[in-house]
Structure 1
């Protein structure tokens, strides 16, 4: 008999080899995470590069998102076209007047109507760029011509400016020697820069926000500056102002005698005693000759140095400059001179780059957060492993081994695909621990049921694993859909959470259905047991016949009342929206001496920072969190507010964390977050509808909406900040709740096929009772894992974990008392699932007694 049983459970040798080869490969890929960088240096590069990269929230550093100013590109294109039009018409001797440009429109009038067609022919080349239309030329009355710059033409210019800006950014950051920055383009007009270990990004932002267009220009003495300001400057000249307070105006020629393209090099020289500096530039050979001629021809005239349309110095030309080495006059600090030299060497930015998002974590805080996260993971694993071993004995040991392999495989996949581990990513790993043991509990409970029916352990194991695999796949697929949507719409740390969760879903299915089975197969081969281990104690609800549907009207009423109350509170009170949705700044400071004084901080900031400022001291009493509400004036105003806070508090406090979100980013996050929730609900509706029946889909959506509404109510009731991590928690709750609902639905569908004549409430009660042990155990393991994260994960992740704890509890409730009763409300038709030739009467008796023959 043992030989027969062995044959029945036998897993083919090649499958076993593949399973353990995948495990061994995962271990090999995960090993670099246990070694230091010094130890990894002795290994091949392909091996060392498999180490999981830590997010900035775990190692500290700065994340900056820059946006190219489209208005600068439009203005530059407009000025270029106006100059080009003027030059082309002069070349063919066509007189014109009223040449002006506004926005994306240029207008002029040809003086002689007979020359209009010749003017059109001369201007045709400017309407296309690289063979593609960039502007449209139209003719009006009395020789009027209009050139409209197309949006497509501007978009092409923006793209070209982005390409150029990326090169300049890389060159500027490379000269700062700030480690290994990550610089990548995001979308059509943005650049994301991440620099590990950089605690104060202010200098970096100054370097990257400044185009550094430097030029030497002659002063136009044909008109007084005031007259030019009151009227119209001469053609080819413009009025620029100095940095002085009050600023001094200069009428200068637009055509420079030197500009950035003429500089071969730039060197800053600093005086350490006076902390000032100066800059010397070396000209190219061709520029040296041209500048010598220009200075010789304009002796006695005044020349100004212009930096980004602002005059920084003015001087008279006393002698011709022929050496090719020029000292740039100006009042520079030592660092200011070094920064300008860096910008000149790297070349000018084609347009202004504005900081629209900034997130900075002080490295010490990142390391502390990392330690807390690892501790939480270890404690969570110990909690759930103890629970599994306590209920399942040696089968629990197999599940625990599979869990360790699962985590190893997650780390291997993250290293292989370059997935960054963030603090929410650690939360995802803790959640994976709960989900992984959920899958094992589902399989083991099915095995117990099969053993009761067959009384042969090997048959029970084989049927249990085979039949539970589809349910595990269904349950995890709903969570995968939600995680994929979250990954698509999010960025930064939240995207790290989604990516880690996606990897964990795949590894969970593999370890639960294949690794665990292989381990159990090895145990069967070695011990050859005939019955399930006596140490299995999970049947605490065996034979239960709880009438869940008997109180469905009460549960519906209570849930509906709570949902309505939540919606009313939401409308009346609203939620405390975080800066991800409203814009603004969050700054965490730590007192250099003593404890943080929130009253003093608030009084000091209210006098210097516009708008509302809120200060809250943290539990350690040494730190405080400052919330600066969104500023009027856009992205630059947000950055100015943070600078004011730094200037006011810098002497007394260290800045541990700075997050700044401008209106452009906050508006996009609000839109994408709303679309993410709607997309998740729609995807779930479609999937459940296709996989089950439309009544099941409606039940799942009603239960999910119930969970979402009550979770939002938690934010309203507690006043917790609702930000993008709140959206991540919300979508995770949606996925987890559906995980539980799908398991219950799967059992209902199976029973409906077998017992199609049974009253639906009784059949639903039996299905829930059959899966009750699994529901209680999996909810307990997930709650234990999240509780460990809540206790040991640190302050930063605590509110996120609290929401997940609440959501798991509510999701467990809704899968029983909301999702199931909806099937009765919408009159699910059991005949749809009829198997055909089953003994319906006997089955009905079994189900009604609470002991279904399944």
Structure 2
């Protein structure tokens, strides 16, 4: 009892700490205000797809910086330019007073900027797209030194200036700049201050060049070119020009933040309105609650009070997951909610494995405590193997995915890891506490009687092995044809282009089409969806320059607003050619590496023919799922990639359970005919296979029904994949193991390497 009590104390403290970590996410602002600041801020951050905002991916154009430089120095030059650009972007956005902008480096030469609450990022585009490199040049005249090189530079009004190429002073010496108004004309100007070195140099150069024109050049354009009437001391000056208050204020901001070392170009833009974000939250919460309730009802209905214990463990699992995600400072996205819902279904898998193993021990006549201990012991390796294979796929999703998809990977990984803890700690602790009260009575865990009766008799599944393999091959071949014709409905993540969601009441498709055609936008495809007055406008792949300046989006918005002045644009997504190409390459690489990762792990944990069987079956499962995308017309986007990699983990997870039982039976009865041993192994795990598939299916079903287009690319393929993955474990993977196993036997090889030493053999028999 001391052991039980001490474990209860330790596990209780861990659970309490985790739940307290999650608590700030549920408290109202009035309660958070009374808590310490460090604790109140321990919350999940909502992604832009949930709270609204804009996402800009900026490329640092370093072509000019590395031109004519030693190739060995290119990487260092690019690295330095990106780091300096990060600092300048951060200063510029801070100067605007924007709340909590998130600025991170992405890839080799890109910067990701996330702007919560910004529904139209055009002004931010302009600020970040301006290099703001300011230099001072003397106008070329007879006072210029001999052999001075002269350059022609345009002014704001189109005039041309002949300037000395030599830079008289760099703009980096400007320490401050502010909007002001000229005392005489009242026009907006920019007053600037120089640092100590700049003040000294500016005073000396103006003293020596009284009467000359000093041009102030911003990004290769003359902003102003005053005549120096006298020496300018004190380190301050004024920039005048054809400014409005807004443009003068922007110039002052740019000068304060400093110049970019290289131009920044927008290569991807995504914007979500706040209303769409709140709808996504409501959808995620409601479908998640319904899915969890369906899973809980199923577990209680099947296993009675023992299922209720699993449900309590699942509730603690949910709370601890939120606590850990809060500690990590994770960002919760819509794909993250989908991953969390999926993890609920998969978390039950460990409890089902344990309960089914305990039931087997009970049927063998084991007393309650022995059945409990044996059930947990035999389930451990299966739980470990199945979760590790899922985590391999999820880790690759994190490495190669973008922000929202990474959110899916993080929530899935945290959910699976915590589910292992709750299953082997809390659930066992409570079950032991209940079993101690039974004394010498048998431990009875209910199930489905008709399914138990089927499982008690070996089902000859492998009689249909040739039919199963043939049918699977035909379906996969048909899926390959569907991949080429009609092909996949690629989202803009892979095809590039622009999608604009429009809410324009009292309009119709014909009016929109005519208005866009009149504005020269006849190539825009218009699709009605959802409620009346809701449309999706699709533009073809934009050029890199078009993505960078966003002119096509602004033109379409203007055309729509001219037709419907009260039109709203809840969502805008624009992906350029470089980004879509990168997504395609990363997707292919992630799927290949996931397959190789599974192959390597199963090769080590089992044998080569088990690993090959799982990998081949996985390839067949994936081709059928790709065929489902093509046949059902489900959009193939980054969320779909998350579904594919989740299916890889889920499908191999399911096969590991069957393989683990095959391995166990091979160690117990290595001389039994292989076909009989495989049939017995599949039959004995049939209940677990069905139950786990049902719980995962139930967890995702509400999201598939009510989640809408936002998550359909994930939920619908997942439902299809669960059915395919479950059936392939029985009808495809096992027959391939049999064919490869018979081939090994003909070569004189054993199915498993089991030690001939009796003591070692006894240890090998333990899971």
Give, in whole Å, the separation in 2 of the partners of 1:658 and 1:276. Answer: 37
Describe the superposition over 1:596-653 as per-residue Cα deviations: whole angstroms up to 9, x where unpaired. 6444444444565779533322212343222222223456457332333334335442
1:170 and 2:90 matched:
yes
**Per-residue deviation, 1:71:** 1.6
Q: Is the 8 A contact 1:630 1:638 kept in 2?
A: no
**Per-residue deviation, 1:708:** 0.7
SS of aligned partner of 1:669: helix
Q: Which moved more, 1:400-409 or 1:640-649?
A: 640-649
1:241 and 2:154 matched:
yes
SS of aligned partner of 1:426: helix
Describe the superposition over 1:439-475 as per-residue Cα deviations: whole angstroms up to 9, x where unpaired. 1111111111110102523221211111011111111
1:597-616 mapped onto 2 (5 Å cutoff)? 597-605=508-516, 612-616=523-527
1:303-382 mapped onto 2 (5 Å cutoff)? 303-314=214-225, 325-382=236-293
Partner of 2:340: 429
Q: Is the 8 A contact 2:172 2:259 kept in 1?
A: no
SS of aligned partner of 2:327: helix
Describe the superposition over 1:363-419 as per-residue Cα deviations: whole angstroms up to 9, x where unpaired. 221122112111111111100100110111001100100000111111111112222
Of 418, 438, 445, which aligns to 1:507?
Answer: 418
**Per-residue deviation, 1:64:** 2.0
Partner of 1:98: none
Give, in whole Å, the separation in 1 of the partners of 2:439 and 2:187. Answer: 84
Partner of 1:566: 479
1:555 and 2:468 matched:
yes
The count of corresponding residues between Structure 1 and Structure 2 is 744
1:14 and 2:6 matched:
yes
Partner of 2:48: 56
Partner of 2:130: 210
Q: Is the 8 A contact 2:369 2:432 kept in 1?
A: no
Partner of 1:405: 316
Partner of 1:111: none
**Per-residue deviation, 1:319:** 6.6
**Per-residue deviation, 1:676:** 0.6
1:515-526 mapped onto 2 (5 Å cutoff)? 515-526=426-437
Of 86, 108, 121, which aligns to 1:201?
Answer: 121
Q: Is the 8 A contact 2:525 2:539 kept in 1?
A: yes
Partner of 1:576: 489
SS of aligned partner of 2:79: helix
Of 608, 622, 625, which aligns to 1:708?
Answer: 622
1:671 and 2:585 matched:
yes
**For structure 2, which runs of at least 5 residues remain unmatched after alignment?**
757-766
Of 492, 497, 502, which aligns to 1:589?
Answer: 502
1:457 and 2:377 matched:
no
1:829-844 mapped onto 2 (5 Å cutoff)? 831-833=750-752
Give, in whole Å, the separation in 2 of the partners of 1:28 and 1:529. Answer: 39
1:784 and 2:698 matched:
yes
Q: Is the 8 A contact 2:175 2:193 kept in 1?
A: yes
Give, in whole Å, the separation in 1 of the partners of 2:366 and 2:672. Answer: 27
Give, in whole Å, the separation in 2 of the partners of 1:760 and 1:643. Answer: 67
SS of aligned partner of 1:390: helix
Q: Is the 8 A contact 2:155 2:223 kept in 1?
A: yes
Of 294, 300, 317, which aligns to 1:389?
Answer: 300
Partner of 1:219: 139
Of 37, 44, 65, which aligns to 1:73?
Answer: 65
**Per-residue deviation, 1:579:** 2.2
Q: Is the 8 A contact 2:494 2:637 kept in 1?
A: yes
Describe the superposition over 1:139-158 as per-residue Cα deviations: whole angstroms up to 9, x where unpaired. xxxxxxxxxx2123333233
Give, in whole Å, the separation in 2 of the partners of 1:534 and 1:182. Answer: 51
Describe the superposition over 1:195-250 as per-residue Cα deviations: whole angstroms up to 9, x where unpaired. 32222222222111111122343333579xxxxxxxxx975221222455xx5443
Partner of 1:35: 27
Partner of 2:400: 489
1:184 and 2:104 matched:
yes
Q: Is the 8 A contact 1:182 1:193 kept in 2?
A: yes
Give, in whole Å, the separation in 1 of the partners of 2:513 and 2:205. Answer: 57
CA RMSD, aligned part only? 3.0
Give, in whole Å, the separation in 1 of the partners of 2:681 and 2:290. Answer: 34
Q: Is the 8 A contact 1:236 1:255 kept in 2?
A: yes
Give, in whole Å, the separation in 2 of the partners of 1:156 and 1:833. Answer: 52
Describe the shift of the 1:151–1:612 C-alpha distance in structure 2 as closer, same or farther (beyond 3 A): farther
1:748-763 mapped onto 2 (5 Å cutoff)? 748-763=662-677
**Per-residue deviation, 1:268:** 1.6
Give, in whole Å, the separation in 2 of the partners of 1:404 and 1:11. Answer: 25
